[in-house]
Amino acid sequence: MGGTVLVTGGAGYVGSHVVVALARAGYAPIVLDNFANSSATVLPRLKHLTGAELPLIAADVRDRAALAHTFSTHAIDAVVHCAGLKAVGEGEAQPLAYYDNNVGGSIALAQAMIAAGVNTLIFSSSATVYGQPERNPVPEDAPLRPASVYGRTKRAVELILEDLAAADASWRIGLLRYFNPAGADASGEIGEAPTNVPNNLVPILADVAAGRRPCVDVFGDDYPTADGTGVRDYIHITDLAAGHVAALAHLARQSGVITLNLGIGRGCSVLEVIAAFERACGKPLARRAAPRRPGDIAICCADPARANALLGWRAGLDLDAICADAWRWQVNSGRRA
Ligand code: NAD
Ligand code: UFG
């Protein structure tokens, strides 16, 4: 266990929590980020939280010279590749920017890893590769029909990495399909702090609770679900980050590609999430019925059995913990209106 791990996108939401989990598990993380959707202000808080040195490389993952310099100046053992663009609507409007960043960035990174002799890689994939699941919970071998440009960039990278491992058996690759990461580190020192406008339900509820938005739009109340609203598998970001540490430990034991769902295995509706956030912040949250959001599906819930069995990992924190920690971060970070 241990070693130096390059975390691309390490200043972002998932990446910053992965950095904390790695440091707490005895790894030495290095952050690489171009701050397209984050800020360098997270670094001092990460250092304070972890007590670690945390070198920062302010660079674009597509910058081959910067990657070569990074690998030549640090003895990197493994890479967790979180850097990417993730706004579904923006991807539809700017497909080339999304393919360039998400696919081009991954190719540049893999090439730099080959040149440096580094062969352990964890990739931030998404449940979005399943598109509209035929059945729930969704296992990893379910049909893959991503319904957005963003989703197709994720599947394209998965295919590239599968081909790479087929060509060279020394690769150790984890394709982690995240369901709906939410919440924040329990310290309240780091959390979701996008520089772009949030699209996801929990940060939007934090905005409403903090008075930065008048209300939350409930996108659709006529889905075939118990209360008519969309159902998702919300996984606490701390559990998600721990999944990366467990996957790295697994890859140290076994080469090849592993594809794993990271979810809790239980679905919650939009109304259940709103109710949990109300309990966390101690006030009612205004909501209004809105039409279904284009591209949304009724239910998407993980079957996490493979990750549970292979990694000995399990997501244990529930929706109340997610909302309590998201609200603590909201209050602590001074983003309250
Ligand atoms: P985020 O935007 O908070 O973090 C991504 C980070 O990558 C940001 O800090 C951004 O500045 C950086 N970045 C983007 N392009 C870059 C580039 N070319 N070079 C260097 N840095 C770059 O998003 P997140 O929620 O932390 O997501 C991390 C990864 O997980 C992404 O690949 C995303 O697609 C994937 N993912 C996220 C979710 C989710 O709901 N948060 C779900 C499934 C998958
Ligand atoms: N929702 C609302 N109001 C909002 C925002 C969201 O009602 O203002 C609802 C959505 O309709 C959905 C649920 O809350 O039912 C969750 O929505 P999110 O946007 O938080 O999450 P999604 O499941 O839609 O998105 C996630 C990832 C994306 C990925 C997508 C594909 O965040 O990266 O899954 O399934 F592309």
Residue from 21, 75, 27 nearest 53 by CA: 27
Cα atoms in the 13 Å half-sphere on the side-chain side of 187:
13
13-178-116 Cα angle (round to 5): 75
Tens-digit pLDDT profile for residues 139-166: 999 999 999 999 999 999 999 999 999 9
Residues 6+ apart with CB under 8 A from 44: none
Query: Of all residues in the chain, what percent carry a pLDDT higher than 70?
Result: 99
Q: Please tell me the residue having the least CA distance from ligand 1 atom 8.
A: 12
Ligand 2, atom 34, lies closest to the CA of 128
* 311 has pLDDT over 60: yes
List, edge to edge, every strand of the sheet that includes 256-262.
Answer: 56-58, 27-33, 3-8, 78-81, 120-126, 172-178, 256-262
Question: Which residues have C-beta atoms less than 6 Å from ligand 2?
Answer: 86, 88, 126-128, 150-151, 180, 199-201, 204, 216-219, 230, 232, 270, 293, 296, 300
Q: What is the pLDDT of residues 267-302, one digit of tens each?
A: 999 999 999 999 999 999 999 999 999 889 999 999
Where does ligand 1 bind, in terms of residues with CB under 6 Å? Answer: 8-9, 11-15, 33-38, 60-62, 82-86, 101, 105, 124, 126, 178, 181, 194, 200
Domains and CATH numbers, the chain: 3-183+234-264 (3.40.50.720)
Q: Could you identify the residue written with the tokens 């924040």? A: 184
Q: Cβ(30)–Cβ(7) under 8 Å?
A: yes
| Of 136, 201, 218, 274, best ligand 2 pocket probe by most atoms within 8 Å of the beta carbon | 201
Check 27, 150, 178, 234 and give the catalytic one.
Answer: 150
- Report pTM: 0.98
Q: Report the separation in Å between the CA atom of 201 and the middle of ligand 2, taken as the mean of its atom positions.
A: 6
